[in-house]
Structure 1
Amino acid sequence: MSLEKAKTIILTLLVLLSLLLTWLIWNNQPNYDLLNLKDLDNIAIAKEKKVPGIILPDKILYHENDGTTGTVHDGEISRVMNLLRTWTFDMSSSRLLQKKDLYNLMYGKNRIELDFPAPVPFSVYQSVLNFANKKVPDADFDHIVIELNKGTKNLNHVYFISTASNKVYEASTDQKSIQVFISKLNDNKSLYKPYTAFALSGPRRIYLPAGNPVVNQYKYATTDIEIDKFKKALFADPNFVKKVAGEYTNGISLLRTDESNKVLTFVNPGEDIGYSSDPNHLLTRAIDFINQHSGWTDQYQYFEINERENEVTFRLFKDGYPVFNDDGMAEIREYLGKSEIYKYVRPYFNLSLNLPLKPAAVKLPPAQDVIAGLQTNPSVQMNKVRDIAVGYRLQKDSDDILSLQPAWYYCEDGIWKMAGGDEDGLE
């Protein structure tokens, strides 16, 4: 056999082998759709939540003719919001007010005031409330004020107020809805306790519980969430993720765990964070991101937004009170990149079992003592104190046991701090 003939035979065999391999690849491809669905099932951390269960008021005030009562009771807040979801709001006008006039509108007699902890974009809340208008304002609000006095043409006024921009967005709703609302409100009057107004700076008032608030304390056993679930949820392809010195990385993104506090940090440094966004876009993306891996554990609610940092925070709540912890054990914090998440910090545990505790309730100092302590503390700038509230301090008792201790908190220049001890003038 000649050399040329041998070359021809070998070349022919190679071509046939190539065709065979190509055919095998085409006919033995895995069903990626099925694989993706299976992967999605595997990365469900806890549960999904819709906007009505995430963006809620943290306080309801009832300004009556003879004083103000209020509640932070989570069951009552949910009940009130469910009632509002049956109404139709017809947006009519907007106006810019002076601070004094704005607060007079909020604190007037015979009206309900719903306070939100952070600005709420109208476009996001369209999935919660029924607006008659096809187009809602391209704006946000942090208070809803409902006038209970009878209006004209069988309609009552409802005001959506932005205290940051001093703007009021006026709407109307059916008077029958208000009458049902008042009836239901009176049925649950025992949940509304006396509140006292305090002046902080300028015309703004802050309403706090009168007397000594009595709040339950709790102790919980915790259950860890497997880090492997977060690895599958957060990395595009978990198969390329390696564990190096206690950290997970695919060479681009990084997942780090604080095992002492059971808090994880996921960083995607390739994301562009130097872009500008609006609250609607930020908040929608932040909620969607957690829903993508069913990441809602315990009762986390929308609490803060920082447009400059593209940052959204969801805080743990218990019995309607916000929970705080200096090590990030009581919050889910997101920094949104231009197209994907840039940074994600959150606990990887659940509060699983409520342990018996005696005494179950704690009596806190009255609000006036808290404010007096802050006013005499040289390290506190009262003109920068935005809010004061009763909350919980989450403490570690052991690796698997946490306690929730009632305490007063104040927000100074956007940062929440505990009022108590020598630091803030309270004992």
Structure 2
Amino acid sequence: MIEKGKSVLLFLLVVISLVQSYFLAYSMPYMEAKVKTELDYVKTEPLGTEENVENLIFPEQLVLHLGDDKHTVFYPSTLPYYDLILTKLQGREFKGMKRDLVNTVDWDQIRRENKGVELRFGRDIPFELLQRVFKIDDDFLFWRDSIDRIWIYSSKSSDEVRTFFFSADGSNVYESERADITIGDVEGYVGFGQYWDPYSSEDGNVYIPDKPISRLLRMEVPFSRYTTEQMQDNLFFDPTTTRTIQDRQDGPQFYTDGKRGLKVEQDGIWMTYTDPVAPTNGENDIIDNVMAATSFVNQHGGWNEKYQLVKEIESESESIIRFQQYYREVPIVSGSSMNFGYMQLTLQQGFVSSYNRSLLVLSNEMKNKSTRQLPGGDQLRDVIGNLDLGGRNIEALFPAYRPSLGKETVVMSPVWAARLLTGEVIIVADSIPASTK
């Protein structure tokens, strides 16, 4: 009887111990809620939308080779054909990569004689990032390389489809020997361009329309803007500690929390945010920094239009990442008159040390639209030939919008823009009112 009583008592002690352990374990959050860290001050207000990095990587041009030295060019604004081709290629698989030297093939002969499509990104895209956009074989030994073109063509001589990825430094080319693309696929891509504007190129790099083109509108676009208070709430850990260094209506405005700084200028439409980062000795990885830059924008202002990854400058100490803004699928190029049409971030090992962006939010509404004509043919060649580029060569030509800021609207005017080998983008030629004939 005594032994039975001991057993019951022991059982009760065990139960009481378990109950006490339960309350101790699950009462901890009440204690933790009293502890406040610096990050708890961040109460960011959602402004723009969030974006995935794969949606920021896309070709600036699709060059279609129609055979017999006939060509045309699709831009992101060439809807729906640009999207149809790109979507189809994103669903294909590229396997069995083989590396070779780029000069082992006469590419000028191939572009003149064979039907195919070139995807031109216009900047270095690391293979590891490109894999987020296309289904590229994982078993690939050259991931640290970057590419700037993909060229797919059907060979007249061998009746087969060949697919090549061009390294951005111009030295190597990678062939996907097991890409699931058929001759019928290539014929379909090329078929979209049969009745499009004809383009010509003397060197296979810069393509110029044979005739003027009238596909873009001049328009006035209403806008709203992010306020300085909204950006302070998004960028400073505790906005209540932020103080004004200089606040004048006729000049830049400066704000700081003692460590980070915010400069708002151009009558409140452009901001520069700085956050000093201590130098480190670790590796500065460009891919990690691109991912970190995308995440930072998602959390601090968001994306209020379509953007494209256009610049990745990497050094031992930092990376500079730039995203080009598009409006209605056309890039915005402001020239030197105003800062507008891009975001740029400087990062060190994933930490953002500077952040530049416009505070304007363009409306989808358009006012006072009019059709404009961009020059082509010999007229455009003469304009380009008369440019004083100081020895800098043009590597790409594309239509763009040049913005002009009014009181309530931004005027978007179609222009020809060019990217130089240095990476600089300039405005080459203006548009004129389209003929009514």
TM-score exceeds 0.5: yes
Show the counterpart of 1:159: 164
- Which letter does structure 2 place at the counterpart of 1:119? D
Report the 3-state secondary structure (helix = DSSP H, G, I; strand = E; otherwise coil) of the residue aligned with 2:308.
strand
Q: Which residue of 1 aligns with 2:428?
A: 419
Where structure 2 has 5 or more consecutive residues not aligned to the other structure, the ranges are: 1-27, 247-252, 431-437
Mean CA deviation greater in 240-249 or 250-259: 240-249
Q: CA–CA distance in 2 between the matches of 1:319 and 1:27?
A: 51
Contact persistence 2:206–2:394 (CA under 8 A): no
Q: Distance in 2 between matches of 1:57 and 1:89?
A: 17
1:280 maps to 2:287 = yes
Q: Secondary structure at the match of 1:94?
A: strand
Aligned partners of 1:272 and 1:338 also within 8 Å: no
TM-score where L is the length of structure 1: 0.79
The equivalences for 1:197-212 within 5 A come to 197-199=201-203, 205-212=205-212
Give secondary structure in 2 for the equivalent of 1:206. coil
Determine the structure 1 residue equivalent to 2:366: 355
From 345, 357, 360, the equivalent of 1:346 is: 357
Question: Is the 8 Å Cα contact of residues 91 and 133 (structure 1) preserved in structure 2?
Answer: no
1:290 is matched with which residue? 297
Partner of 2:220: 219
Decide which of 95, 107, 112 is 2:100's aligned counterpart.
Answer: 95
Cα offsets for 1:376-401 (capped at 9, x unmatched): 34x32355333332211111122x21
Aligned to 1:84: 89
Given that residues 83 and 181 in structure 1 are in contact (C-alpha distance below 8 angstroms), is that contact kept between their aligned partners in structure 2?
no
Paired residue for 1:3?
A: none
Q: What is the match of residue 387 of structure 1?
A: 396
> 1:373 is matched with which residue?
383
2-side partners of 1:216 and 1:92: how far apart? 43
Deviations 1:149-192 (A, max 9, x none): 4898x973211112423210111345565534643653x44784
Deviates more, 1:71-80 or 1:246-255: 71-80
Cα separation, partners in 2 of 1:304 and 1:273, compared to 1, 3 Å: farther
Sort the Cα spacing of 1:106 and 1:236 in 2 relative to 1 into closer, same or farther, 3 A.
farther
The C-alpha deviation readout for 1:295-334, integer Å capped at 9, x for no partner, is: 1111111122222462111111234432111322111111
> Is the aligned partner of 1:330 residue 2:341?
yes
- State the match for 2:152 in structure 1: 146
Q: Tell me the SS of whatever aligns to 1:119.
A: strand
Q: Which residue of 2 aligns with 1:302?
A: 309
Distance 1:318 1:329, change over 3 A: same
CA distance in 2, matches of 1:352, 1:411: 27
1:193 to 177, 189, 197: 197
3-state SS, counterpart of residue 81 of structure 1: helix
Q: Deviations over 1:339-371 (max 9, x none)?
A: 41111110112111423324x211122253333
Q: Is the aligned partner of 1:50 residue 2:55?
A: no
> Does 1:312 find its partner at 2:315?
no
Instruction: Give 2:411's aligned amino acid.
Output: S
String of CA shifts for 1:108-128, please: whole Å, max 9, x gaps. Answer: 521110111211111012222
Do 1:151 and 1:175's aligned partners in 2 also have CA atoms closer than 8 Å? Answer: no
Verify the 8 A CA contact 2:65 2:190 in the aligned structure 1.
Answer: no
Indicate if the aligned counterparts of 1:391 and 1:409 stay in contact, CA closer than 8 A: yes
User: 1:68 is matched by which residue type in structure 2?
Assistant: H
Q: Distance in 1 between matches of 2:83 and 2:36?
A: 39
The CA distance in 2 between the partners of 1:99 and 1:237, in whole Å, is: 59
The correspondence for 1:30, drawn from 22, 30, 33, is: 33
Residues 375 and 382 of structure 1 are in contact (CA less than 8 Å); yes or no, is this contact kept in structure 2? no
2:274 pairs with 1:267: yes
Contact residue 342 and residue 358 of structure 2 kept, 8 A: yes
CA spacing shift, 1:208–1:231, aligned 2, 3 Å:
same
Unaligned runs of 5+ in 1: 1-24, 422-427
Q: Secondary structure at the match of 2:202?
A: strand
Determine if contact 2:124/2:168 at 8 Å carries over to the other structure: no
The answer for the alignment partner of 1:242 in structure 2 is 243
Alignment of 1:85-124 (within 5 A): 85-98=90-103, 101=106, 104=109, 109-124=114-129
* Aligned counterpart, 1:405: 413
Relative to 1, partners in 2 of residues 1:352 and 1:191: Cα closer, same or farther, differing over 3 Å?
Answer: farther
The alignment of Structure 1 onto Structure 2 pairs a total of residues equal to 387
The code of the aligned residue for 1:352 comes to S
Contact 1:374 1:380 in 2 (8 A): no
> Hey, what's the Cα distance between the residues in 2 that align with 1:302 and 1:33?
37
* 367 and 39 in structure 1: CA distance in 2 versus 1, 3 angstrom threshold: farther
> Secondary structure at the residue paired with 2:365?
strand
Distance in 2 of aligned mates of 1:173 and 1:192: 31
| Seq. identity, % | 18
The alignment partner of 2:207 has SS state of: strand
Cα distance in structure 1, aligned partners of 2:228 and 2:411: 23
> Mean alpha-carbon deviation: is it higher for 30-39 or for 189-198?
30-39
| 1:214-273 per-position Cα deviation (integer Å, ceiling 9, x unaligned) | 122221000112333322332233343223323221111101111526011001234439
The one-letter amino acid paired with 1:237 is D
The root-mean-square deviation of aligned C-alpha atoms, in Å, is 3.3
CA-to-partner distance for each residue in 1:9-34, whole Å, 9 max, x for gaps? Answer: xxxxxxxxxxxxxxxx9956537799
- Note if contact 1:276-1:307 (Cα within 8 Å) is conserved in structure 2: no
Choose which of 168, 173, 197 in structure 1 pairs with 2:173.
168
- Contact 2:166 2:173 (C-alpha < 8 Å) held by counterparts: yes
Could you tell me whether the CA contact under 8 Å between 1:256 and 1:266 is conserved in 2? Answer: yes
Alignment partners' CA distance in 1, 2:282 and 2:31: 44
Instruction: Quote the residue 1:14 is aligned against.
Output: none
Aligned-partner residue type, residue 417 of structure 2: Y
Could you tell me which amino acid in structure 2 is paired with residue 69 of structure 1? T
